[in-house]
Amino acid sequence: MSCNTCFVLGAGFSAPAGIPPQKDLLRDIARSDDEKARRHIQDIFGLDHSVDALNEVSLEDVFTFLDKIISRNGSVGVFNLVTAYQAKGDLINYIVRKFNASLREMRGERKYEYFFNAIANRKIVDGETNTIVTFNWDTIPDFYITRAFKFLGKNNGVDYGCYDLDYDKWVRSKQTDRVPSILRAAKGYKTIKVLKPHGSINWAYQKDKEAILVKEQTGAFPEGLLFEDDDHTDHEHVLMTPTFTKDLSSQHIQSIWQNIHIDMEAAKRILFLAACSTLNNSIKNSRDFTLFEAAFGVFRVNFCGKPQKSLIFSAL
C-alpha cells in the first residue's frame, strides 16, 4: 500500500510540550530525590563527583558503560551483570517517571491535537495512508491518534508495526483482546502506523520477548509504564537508550525498521520535524521558533491543502 506522507519526528517535535532534552537528563538524575537512580550515577562517577562536572559527560557514556558490562558479563567496581542490569532498569524507570511528570503538565496541547487529528481525519474520512516515524520515547503521537480513533472502537488507531499485546490485561490474566498491530490492517481495522525504532516509554518485553507489551494510551494524558521493584525480573522496558553498543537483534525492532524502510520508500512526501532555530530569512530572529511550530504552516499548505509535488523538509 502506498504511503502519501511520512512524518519523521525528531526530539524538537516534543520539546514544546515540555519533554526534557536528553542532554539534561543526567544532571536531573544527579540532583533528583530518586535515591536509587542518583546512587547509580554516584557509583559510576565517584561519590565526590560534583553535578557541574557532569556537563562534560553524556547519557550515552552512562548507558554504554552499563551495556558493555551486561553484554560481556563483566565486572567493574561495584557493577557486575546483575547490578548493571538493575542500574539500567532503575535509570530507565527514572526517565519514564520524568517523562510522565512532564506529560501531565504538557504544554501546547491544542497544537498537537490539531496536528494528529488532521492526520487521523485523512484516514477515517478519505482512507488516506500516512505514516509517523518517531525517534522519541514519549507517547504524544500514540495518545492523540488513539483518542482520535476512539469512537471507532478498540484496535482502531495506532499500528506500531510489530507484534504487541495489552500490558495490563496480559499481566493480570495472560489474555488480551488487543489485536497485534501487524494483523490489524488485514482484519479491516483503520490504523495509522506510529513506528518507534527507539522504543517507547509505554512498551515492555515479557521475559521471553515473544511480544511487546503495550500500556494502552486511554487515560486522561499520555503516560509511560512504570515497574515496581519486583517487576524487573519478569519485564524490561523497550527503550533504545543512547549507547555505543546498540542491540538491534529484537525481531520486533527489526519489524519496525522494515516498516520504516517500506513506507519511506513508498511515500510521496517525507516531512522531517525536528529542532530548528532558523528556517529562512523571515524567521531568523525568532529565538524560540521551533520546527514543530513551523510545521503547521507547511502542514496546512502541503498536507491539508491540495496535494503538491514531493517535499523533503529537513532541519535535522
Domain boundaries, the chain: 5-18+107-266, 22-104
Given the C-alpha cell 472502537, which residue does it identify? 153
Query: Is the predicted pLDDT of residue 244 greater than 50, yes or no?
Result: yes
> For residue 228, what pLDDT is reported?
62
> For residue 315, what pLDDT is reported?
38
The tens digit of pLDDT for each residue in 194-233 reads 999 999 999 998 767 688 999 887 777 777 877 665 444 5
> For residue 49, what pLDDT is reported?
53
The candidate with the shortest Cα–Cα distance to 94, out of 37, 51, 44, is 37
pLDDT band at 296 (very low <50, low <70, confident <90, very high): very low
How far apart are the C-alpha atoms of 85 and 81, rounded to whole Å? 6
Classify the C-alpha dihedral 175-146-291-111 as positive or negative. negative
Overall pTM > 0.85: no
304 or 105, which is more confident: 105
| Close Cβ partners of 143 (under 8 Å, ≥ 6 residues apart) | 217, 221, 222
How far apart are the C-alpha atoms of 228 and 36, rounded to whole Å? 13
Summary mean pLDDT of the chain: 79
* Residue 10 one-letter amino acid: G
Q: Give how far Cα 194 sits from Cα of 6, 36, 81, 172, Å.
A: 10, 33, 34, 26
Instruction: Return the percentage of the chain with pLDDT > 90, whole number.
Output: 24
* Span 243-256, average pLDDT: 87
How far apart are the C-alpha atoms of 19 and 21, rounded to whole Å? 6
